[in-house]
Structure 1
């Protein structure tokens, strides 16, 4: 049995924060603002995984009101989310994602991001797609005030319950 999940995440971009994306620290003058490390790509993937099995969203499982999650590495959140999927007898088939941001250019980091994500969800990096686009200076993304990531995931049942 196959299930599909879709996730999306938004964060403001601000001065004075590290910029984590796909589990990789990217040099930039701004970083995403959030309770955790604000890695929009990993958050979108978490939401897609949770959505595929109707388990709610990242805020339900990792609320921003929980002080133990303050500045948490989103790779930990992805690993915990994947454990929920795996515990239910599913595995990831593939991930397709898109990042919307004006700057910086991030595709030179895509291979490393794919490797990080693939390692956590136990698939091949070739089964992780990362694309990026700008908004041609339109909207909050074009003004470099924010970043958005979307993810679509296919999971499959690997064992009976």
Structure 2
């Protein structure tokens, strides 16, 4: 059996009175992530981890932020397309481990729904998806609630 590990990172600016999608969940908050798609920082980091593990470049290569096809699109769609690309190369997903870094809102109550959304989108068990969250202890652009960051690692396998 061949296995590979991938790492993903994403960051989005937070803006007042903007929707805030994380892990396919629309969070109630006075600020939200801004981007070409729905700016779901968690799903973008997961996509980059999966694409990197399969040596398929990155999310921006496949889903350009200048392409009107992807304007405002749900990142669940981008995740499904990403999984299709890696499965076309014969890879299956072993697990995903992700970390969100933001000051607010609290993420813990939403983690089960995020895990369910990801599991459903990529057809793996919720048990194989770990999502954690931390703050930046009020330091830097994260601490000032100017942006949100996500990191993800994954394992893919074939044979």
Listed one character per residue, the Cα deviations across residues 31-89 of structure 1 (whole Å, up to 9, x for unaligned) are: 10100000000000000010001111000000001011110100000000000011111
Contact 1:52/1:153 (8 A) holds in 2: yes
SS at match of 2:136: coil
Residue 114 in structure 1 maps to residue 110 in structure 2: no
Instruction: Give the match for residue 74 of structure 1.
Output: 75
Instruction: Say whether the 8 Å CA contact 1:92–1:122 is kept in structure 2.
Output: no
- SS in structure 2 at match of 1:17: coil
Contact 1:99 1:131 in 2 (8 A): yes
Deviations 1:91-117, CA, capped at 9 Å, x for gaps: 111000000000110110000000100
1: CA distance, partners of 2:72 / 2:16: 16
Match of residue 9 from structure 2 = 8
2:19 maps to 1:18:
yes
Matched position secondary structure for 1:117:
helix
Q: How does 1:113-152 map to 2 (within 5 A)?
A: 113-152=114-153
Q: For the Cα contact (< 8 Å) 2:13–2:33, is it kept in 1? A: yes
Q: TM-score, normalised by structure 1?
A: 0.96
In the alignment, structure 2 segments of 5+ residues that lack a partner are none
Number of matched pairs: 158
Which runs of at least 4 in structure 1 moved beyond 6 Å after TM superposition? Answer: none
What TM-score comes out, normalization by structure 2 length?
A: 0.98
CA shift for structure 1 position 119 = 1.0
Equivalent residue, structure 2, for 1:85:
86
Match of 1:97 in 2: 98
Q: Residues 102 and 135 of structure 1 are in contact (CA less than 8 Å); yes or no, is this contact kept in structure 2?
A: yes
Question: Following the alignment from structure 2 to structure 1, what is the Cα–Cα distance between the partners of residues 54 and 90?
Answer: 11
Structure 1 Cα separation of the partners of residues 28 and 92 of structure 2? 33
Q: Matched residues in 2 for 1:2 and 1:109: separation?
A: 30
